């Protein structure tokens, strides 16, 4: 029998092994760990579950992931080399990771709330807010925003990006209050089923951290850790690899401390097992890491110290039949080391789009007012407020005509001769590089517009600072401010170009620069209710 056939036979045996026996073994090993009982006293809210590493066999897996006949073929193309195959190895991984976490975890505000809050619903909400904010945003950026949010400074959300997250969080919270009697769902399955915007990861994080449910989670950090620990080189975003990673996470999660374990795995990926230049010597599970073993093996082969067949376990080499190995088109790169795992799929560059936007200003009783209109509730920057904008037109004449029509739709008849082109702003979102042609129109000597259609608001410049506007609109506003008589406030740092050529900034520029340089406005508690 060939090595590959032998491995696949063992894998098939693992897949068919009765779940009860596997789960029982995991729980017995975990229960024997010293000091764990004190962490398990609050875990009665949800029943722990175990998994043998294959997500399709996990009870409670989301609908659609149950084993289908064709999936047997896919699973058979995965070598057991990439899995955890015995309870001792799983127990060692849990113990090492949690011991490291207890010593090295960062002191973060949402962790303190989760530990100190006795009310389970409040605890779950605190975790929920943090997990939503942390989606595709770095921890250092989130800390101040999280503190502000928990103090009910809702408008601060705008600077985080991915703006629809805030709207979905509000919708979910409203549903908890109005339809669920003020009580959060207690399991990952019901959280995902009942709360809008709560996906598989967020549901698992809330359920494990707030309610002690033994459910694994996979985010970008966890995926990277698992891929390196088990030498998974294939694209982790593919369906097959993603299912395997969720299966590994469910197999590894500690039933006695599921929330701590999941946070420890995320912490390891964020601080030690980083995308580039990982700190392998500081890794608590280095001895279990197949990526590290591969590096050592390759170093021995390169030095000539290892000849013939290496006495190191590896996946069936050069067969191209294992769907978790490095793709044949991207073989091992000696210069990358453990960073060979995982290999990322090539990312498409953001598509380029252009639009024209105009800052329309009129005098008001409390000072100059500017017009903002609200974006649709779906799509890019959903629900945020912006200056009136239109898509880019091929000629200046057509551009001005289209923009003036858009302005008149919100504010009535306007003098076309006062419309001035001020410069441009380039802002890159995750998938779009958007260039704004910035125009300005100041209404002087006219009767102020007092009524506007639904979806539009006149705000003072001070109110603009606390309104729910995007970073791109703040850049646009800087260009407009820079072109007011006697000022010059353009900034290369903000990717802004304008006709202004003054080099020495005035005091007004310094004040505005300081405002946009900070994460949170000093007058953040003065919310703009009109922009909600």
Active site residue ranges: 131
Spatial distance between the Cα atoms of 185 and 194, rounded to a whole number of angstroms: 8
Q: DSSP letter string over 41-87?
A: TTGGGS------S-GGG-TTPPTT-S--HHHHHHHHTS-GGGS--SH
Q: What is the CA radius of gyration of the chain?
A: 28
3-state secondary structure 114-182: HHHCCCHHHHHHHHHHHHHHCCCCCHHHHHHHHHHHHCCCHHHHHHHCCCHHHHHHHHHHHHHHHHCCC
Spatial distance between the Cα atoms of 343 and 274, rounded to a whole number of angstroms: 14
Query: Tokens in use for 373?
Result: 């209109």
Query: Tokens in use for 284?
Result: 């608590």
Query: 501: burial class by Cβ within 10 Å (0-12, 13-18, 19+)?
Result: exposed
Long-range residue pairs from 444-449, CB within 8 A, at least 24 positions apart, any chain: 444/363, 446/362, 446/415, 448/362, 448/363, 448/364, 448/369, 449/362, 449/411, 449/412
CB atoms within 10 A of CB 71: 16
Task: Look at the block and give the residue holding tokens 């009942």.
Answer: 194
Spatial distance between the Cα atoms of 17 and 244, rounded to a whole number of angstroms: 17
Spatial distance between the Cα atoms of 327 and 294, rounded to a whole number of angstroms: 16
Task: Look at the block and give the residue holding tokens 């004449």.
Answer: 397
Task: Look at the block and give the residue holding tokens 């280095």.
Answer: 286
Q: What angle do CA 139, 116, 90 make, to 5 degrees?
A: 65
Buried b (16+ CB within 10 A) or exposed e, 290-310: bbbbbbebbeeeeeeebeeee
């Amino acid at each position: 029998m060939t090595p590959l056939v032998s491995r696949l036979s063992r894998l098939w045996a693992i897949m068919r092994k009765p779940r009860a026996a596997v789960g029982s073994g995991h729980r017995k090993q975990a229960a024997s760990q010293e000091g764990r009982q004190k962490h398990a006293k609050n875990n009665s809210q949800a029943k722990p579950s175990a998994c043998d590493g294959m997500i399709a066999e996990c009870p409670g897996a989301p609908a659609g992931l149950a084993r289908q006949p064709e999936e047997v073929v896919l699973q058979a193309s995965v070598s057991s080399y990439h899995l955890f195959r015995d309870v001792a190895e799983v127990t060692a991984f849990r113990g090492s990771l949690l011991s490291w976490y207890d010593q090295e975890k960062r002191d973060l505000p949402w962790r303190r709330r989760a530990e100190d809050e006795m009310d389970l619903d409040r605890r779950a909400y605190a975790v929920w807010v943090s997990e939503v904010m942390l989606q595709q945003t770095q921890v250092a950026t989130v800390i101040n925003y999280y503190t502000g949010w928990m103090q009910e400074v809702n408008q601060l959300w705008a600077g985080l990006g991915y703006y629809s997250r805030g709207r979905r969080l509000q919708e979910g919270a409203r549903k908890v209050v109005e339809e669920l009697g003020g009580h959060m769902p207690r399991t990952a399955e019901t959280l995902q089923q009942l709360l809008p915007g709560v996906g598989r990861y967020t549901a698992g994080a809330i359920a494990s951290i707030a309610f002690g449910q033994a459910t694994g989670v996979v985010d970008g950090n966890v995926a990277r850790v698992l891929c390196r620990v088990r030498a998974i080189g294939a694209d982790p975003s593919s369906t097959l690899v993603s299912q395997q990673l969720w299966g590994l996470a469910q197999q590894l999660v500690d039933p006695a401390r599921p929330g701590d374990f999941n946070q420890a795995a995320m912490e390891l990926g964020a601080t030690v097992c980083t995308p580039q230049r990982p700190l392998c010597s500081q890794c608590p599970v280095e001895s279990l890491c197949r990526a590290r073993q591969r590096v050592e093996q390759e170093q021995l082969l390169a030095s000539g110290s290892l000849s013939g067949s290496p006495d190191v376990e590896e996946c069936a080499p050069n067969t191209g039949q294992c769907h978790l190995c490095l793709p044949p088109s991207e073989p091992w790169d000696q210069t990358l080391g453990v960073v060979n795992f995982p290999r990322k799929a090539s990312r498409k560059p953001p598509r380029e789009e252009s639009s024209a936007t105009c800052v329309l200003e009129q005098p008001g009783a409390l000072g100059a007012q500017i017009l903002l209109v609200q974006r649709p509730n779906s799509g890019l920057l959903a629900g945020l407020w912006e200056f009136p904008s239109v898509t880019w037109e091929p000629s200046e004449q057509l551009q001005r005509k289209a923009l003036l029509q858009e302005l008149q739709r919100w504010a009535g008849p306007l003098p076309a001769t006062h419309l001035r082109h001020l410069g441009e702003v380039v802002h890159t979102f995750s998938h779009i590089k958007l260039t704004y042609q910035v125009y300005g129109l100041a209404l002087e000597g006219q009767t102020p517009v007092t009524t506007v259609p639904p979806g539009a608001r006149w705000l003072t410049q001070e109110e603009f600072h606390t309104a729910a506007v995007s970073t791109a609109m703040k850049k646009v506003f800087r260009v407009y401010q820079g072109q007011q008589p006697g000022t010059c406030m353009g900034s290369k740092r903000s990717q802004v170009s304008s006709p202004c050529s003054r080099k020495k900034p005035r005091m007004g520029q310094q004040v505005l620069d300081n405002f946009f340089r900070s994460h949170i406005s000093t007058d953040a508690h003065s919310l703009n209710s009109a922009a909600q």
